[in-house]
Amino acid sequence: MHVLLTGGTGFIGEAVAKALIARGDLVTLLIHKRPSKVAGAQSISNLSEINSPVDAVVNLAGLPIADKPWTNSRKVALRASREGITGQLVRWIAQQEVKPKVLLSGSAIGFYGATRSDRALSESDQPLIQDFSRELCQSWEQIALEAEQEGVRVVLLRTGIVLGKGGALKKMLPAFKLGLGGRIVDGQQMMSWIHLDDEINAILFLIDNPDASGPFNLTAPNPVSNQEFTAVLGKVLKRPTLLPMPALMPKLMLGKEGAALLTDGLSVVPSRLTEHGFEFKHPSLDKALETII
């Protein structure tokens, strides 16, 4: 199978590329800046360089959502990094005589809004609030769904917090290893997480399953509160977790609006993955963290 992958130099994308190559797929990475470190993948900088039919497109491109304050200019950049490349892919698909069978396009559980709720949310649930994260994910998904007009199966990947040797956990570990970690504010906000192995396996599963289309929550079946996450991480590291992050800190890091990514949280569950028969390797947080740390 020939797979075109965007975002292949990122934390998730690089792991997906390696998994595809390991199972014998031909992988073409669309790369604009940072060179790829994935052995066996071919890299291009423009879609016009593709000279053989593509069977599947996996679109994981996008600037990090939680590394800078959400100023107006940052919001524009976040939109452009997601909507721009997705639109390019959809237009490219429309021009192909032999079209890909499937487009898997990135999204996030931000689709449901950045607020607090411990009610289990599945793919059939509507957003709880209208905010920037909801608007960003919605427009991103709507552009990807335009590929359905070309007869292409479209899968929307609503990903939660991905745990692995990188990403969010990499940012948390230094403080926790020093015994300086703790809950964020009151710790009651929910964290919908997924182990990187399950994220990769779910993406491959959805590529291969011709009956899978529409939105899929890529989260583990057992979301936890931030307080529980903190306690489990401290236990795995054998470190105390007594220093909570005050409410001012997230606002200094991400601004008033972006701070909701840390202080609020939803309980998002992978209902459709389970219905389609996907089996998680790491359904519980303690075992998941133990395999990583």
Positive or negative: CA dihedral 132, 133, 134, 136:
positive
User: Which pLDDT score, from 0 to 100, does residue 257 have?
Assistant: 82
User: Which pLDDT score, from 0 to 100, does residue 177 have?
Assistant: 92
User: Which pLDDT score, from 0 to 100, does residue 34 have?
Assistant: 67
Question: Which tokens hold the place of 251?
Answer: 């606002």
Report the DSSP pairing between strands 190-191 and 224-225. Answer: antiparallel
Residue 45 C-beta-side C-alpha neighbours within 13 Å? 4
Residues in the chain: 293
First to last CA, the chain: 34
Cβ neighbours of residue 83 closer than 8 Å, sequence gap 6 or more = 139, 140, 143
Quote the CA–CA distance of 108 and 160 in Å, as a whole number: 6
User: Which pLDDT score, from 0 to 100, does residue 49 have?
Assistant: 95
CATH code, domain carrying 160 = 3.40.50.720
Q: Model-level pTM?
A: 0.95
List the beta bridge partners of residue 121.
268
Helix (H) or strand (E) holding 166: strand 166-166
Quote the CA–CA distance of 106 and 230 in Å, as a whole number: 27
* φ, ψ dihedrals at 184, nearest 5°: -95, 115
In the predicted model, residues of the chain with pLDDT beneath 70 are: 34
Are 114 and 264 within 8 A, CB to CB? yes
DSSP string, 242-257: --PBPTHHHHHHHHHH
Question: What is the b/e burial string over 118-136, where b = at least 16 CB atoms within 10 angstroms of the residue's CB?
Answer: eeebebebebbeebbbbbb
Q: Mind listing the pLDDT tens digit for each residue in 21-43?
A: 999 999 999 997 767 778 899 99
User: Which pLDDT score, from 0 to 100, does residue 112 have?
Assistant: 95
The domain total for the chain is 1
User: Which pLDDT score, from 0 to 100, does residue 101 have?
Assistant: 98
Question: Which tokens hold the place of 39?
Answer: 């052995």
Residue 104 C-beta-side C-alpha neighbours within 13 Å? 30
Domain region containing 12: 2-292
SS3 284: coil
Pick from 183, 277, 282: nearest CA to 233: 183
Residue 24 gets the label, from left (phi > 0), alpha (psi -120 to 50) or beta, of left
